[in-house]
Chains A and B, each alone.
Chain A
Amino acid sequence: MSIGLITILLASVFIILLLLGLPLAFSTGSVAVLFTLIHFGPDVLIMIVTRIFTMMNNFILVAVPLFIFMACILESSGVAEDLFRSVYVWSGRMRGGLGVATIIACTIMAAMVGIIGAEITTFGMIALPAMFKRGYDKQLALGSVCCGGALATLIPPSVVFIMFGLMAGVSVGKLYIAGILPGLLLALFYSAYILIRAYLNPALAPTAPPEERDISLGQKFRMLTGLILPGFIVLAVLGSIYLGIATPTEAAGTGSLGAIISAAVYRRLSWGMIRDAAIRTMRITCMLIWLFFGASAIIGYYTLAGGTDFVTQGLIGLKLGPIGTLVVMQLIWVILGCFIDWIGILLLTIPLFLPIIREFGFDPVWIGVLYCLNMQISYISPPFGPGVFYLKAVTPEGITVGQIFRSTIPFFFLMVLALVLNNIFPQIALWLPGTMIK
């Protein structure tokens, strides 16, 4: 049987299983087992087990549960409330100030949290009610929390970058540092957008009522103490990675300790809270890692059958040139992003794209950042936009999923703008990691 025919068969069975609602982790795994059995016989099944064993023995993979654990602790530590308050007291007279404060708080939080779920739900509970109370336009408020919160995976530490680094064999530390400027750029776009909208139509984003404005400068400065703990955590985690003194796993361990200390400072620390965070970490991590196992199995089979070469040659054979290929790869990511989440796309496409990336000499760190930018879009693209559903879970009654999807449309265009800029100017991503010592 030719590899072309195998590819079509494999893809059809896989897609049918997915559409029938079989979890992704089992669809990939079972298709891998089925095809390996028929194509190579039962003796080759050991390949799947050894691949799983290699994967679970990876030191960097440990950073995934650690960063998720850190996020779960921070989520219930009270850090975010204080952080948000200390930023927004400065926004008093400024039109759209509260919206910008939300984006700034999201950005700082994103430098501590590596999963969008923790960030969007946190600010959905803190910033959204504050904006609604002040009479902000619902669409503007929803969109800024949803997209500001999604920055969590572009600004390090990000679980997406860990998985990308593992899959593509790139330094996770470099990816982290490369994500900083594109993340800040996106935050800047969001803030500028909110300010412009508020300037053109003040009714969309009312300023603070007088009693909230009458906070003395001294008081405002005293409230800045709310930034000390987060600042410390950010510096410890990112600083140690930037300076090359800690691996992402070590940084994640230190960050988790920092999160626990913060929770203690805010008097929220208890055994119950740690247990709750540990158990939620378990649920998310095992879901991610079993997906990883399944994808590794299907990629293992497909490589053995000669499929990866087939796809690479096919894509190169299209003679699109480097720019065309880059665009096609990203279009595939955006389209897939409507239907499956980032981890699925990563696991299925990166092994296929990697040889092409090498062929054209693209810097894999840059590709990692582009991937993350594309995933920003996937978080909000219907019908399956995880960011939107996370926010829906914490919004008050009466806000529909459709409303949240619509609220993200202007932000979608800003994401596309940032994506285009990063495509044209790789330096945005690559300049900062270039200054690292190692």
Chain B
Amino acid sequence: MKLLNIIDKISIWSGNLFSAINPIIVFIVVYEIFLRYLFNAPTIWANEAVVYLAAVSYLMGGAYSHYYRAHVRVDILYLKFSPRTRAILDVVTFFFTFLYLGSLVWVGTKYALESLKVLEKTGSPWNPPIYPLKFAIPVGALLLLLQSIANFIRDLNFAVKGQKS
């Protein structure tokens, strides 16, 4: 299915893109240590920027992990079932995933919009705007939800037809 492949591509693409954040964080942390301990001139932005960037990467990478089905399960019973039974169970439990991620998208958007309305800032010496970070929650949850829907449709297809599409 074309749509499902597009969703997969979005997850992989966002994972690849935001994984670049990690090496960047290493660079900033080391840079800050050099400035502080060697030149006694700490920046006002480094630590905050590190947290900011890392927070974005946590949110945006959830879908990527889910594409690889890397989110851990308790598989004492699960692994004993046939692949088709597993697909059926995944179809059933999907509604709970939907409830959780849907709520995050919905409530998270409201939360971020309120911040956007007043152009909220962090209030630190560096004082960057904070609403983009708040939008990371609904956007990250939406990406994860899309990947869950793609996985769900595949499971449903497998559960009904008995063969992988």
Residues of B98-124 whose CB lies within 8 A of A: 99-101, 103-104, 107-108, 110-111
Interchain CB contact under 8 A, B33 and A278: no
Interchain CB contact under 8 A, B78 and A21: yes
* Cβ-based interface call for B35 (8 A): no
- B38 surroundings in chain A (CB, below 8 A): none
- A58 surroundings in chain B (CB, below 8 A): 51
- A21 surroundings in chain B (CB, below 8 A): 73-75, 77-78, 81, 86, 89-90, 93
Selected contact of B96 from candidates A26, A52, A285, CB within 8 Å? A26
Nearest CB of chain B from residue A55's CB, rounded to whole Å? 9
CA separation between A20 and B95, bound complex, in Å? 13
Q: How many residues belonging to B are interface residues under a CB distance threshold of 8 Å?
A: 59
CA separation between A61 and B50, bound complex, in Å? 11
- A285 surroundings in chain B (CB, below 8 A): 57-58, 61
Q: A26-B97, A287-B70, A287-B71 are in contact. Are A281 and B22 (CB under 8 A)?
A: yes
A61 to B, closest residue via Cβ: B54
- A282 surroundings in chain B (CB, below 8 A): 15, 18-19, 22, 57, 61, 64-65
- A326 surroundings in chain B (CB, below 8 A): none
* Cβ-based interface call for A435 (8 A): no
Selected contact of B74 from candidates A30, A45, A56, A339, CB within 8 Å? A339
CA separation between A249 and B28, bound complex, in Å? 11
CA separation between A286 and B111, bound complex, in Å? 22
- B23 surroundings in chain A (CB, below 8 A): 69, 274, 278
Residues of A69-88 whose CB lies within 8 A of B: 69
Q: A49-B111, A59-B47 are in contact. Are A278 and B22 (CB under 8 A)?
A: yes
Which secondary structure dominates chain A's binding surface? helix
CA separation between A256 and B22, bound complex, in Å? 10
A292 to B, closest residue via Cβ: B58
* Cβ-based interface call for B146 (8 A): no
A70 to B, closest residue via Cβ: B26
Interchain CB contact under 8 A, B76 and A383: yes
* Cβ-based interface call for B3 (8 A): no
A72 to B, closest residue via Cβ: B22
CA separation between A52 and B77, bound complex, in Å? 30
- A22 surroundings in chain B (CB, below 8 A): 73, 93, 96-97
CA separation between A287 and B92, bound complex, in Å? 22
CA separation between A339 and B64, bound complex, in Å? 25
Interface flags for A263-301 (1: CB within 8 Å of B; 0: not) read 000000000001100110111111101110010010000
- A384 surroundings in chain B (CB, below 8 A): 74-76
* Cβ-based interface call for B41 (8 A): no
* Cβ-based interface call for A433 (8 A): no
CA separation between A285 and B89, bound complex, in Å? 26
Interchain CB contact under 8 A, B25 and A62: yes
Interchain CB contact under 8 A, A65 and B104: no
CA separation between A279 and B30, bound complex, in Å? 21
CA separation between A286 and B96, bound complex, in Å? 20
* Cβ-based interface call for B55 (8 A): yes
- B50 surroundings in chain A (CB, below 8 A): 59, 62, 249
* Cβ-based interface call for B39 (8 A): no
* Cβ-based interface call for A129 (8 A): no
Interchain CB contact under 8 A, A278 and B20: yes
- B144 surroundings in chain A (CB, below 8 A): 290
* Cβ-based interface call for A169 (8 A): no
Q: List 5 A-B contacts (CB under 8 A).
A: A29-B104, A30-B100, A49-B104, A281-B22, A384-B76
Which 4 residue pairs are nearest across A and B when measured between Cβ atoms? A253-B29, A286-B61, A21-B78, A23-B71
Instruction: List residues of A whose CB falls within 8 A of some B CB.
Output: 17-27, 29-34, 45-46, 48-50, 52-53, 56-59, 61-62, 65-66, 69, 245-246, 249-250, 252-254, 256-257, 260, 274-275, 278-279, 281-287, 289-291, 294, 297, 339-341, 343-344, 383-384
Query: Given A19-B78, A29-B104, 12 other A-B contacts at CB below 8 A?
Result: A18-B73, A21-B73, A21-B89, A26-B97, A30-B97, A49-B108, A56-B133, A56-B136, A59-B50, A66-B22, A287-B72, A290-B65
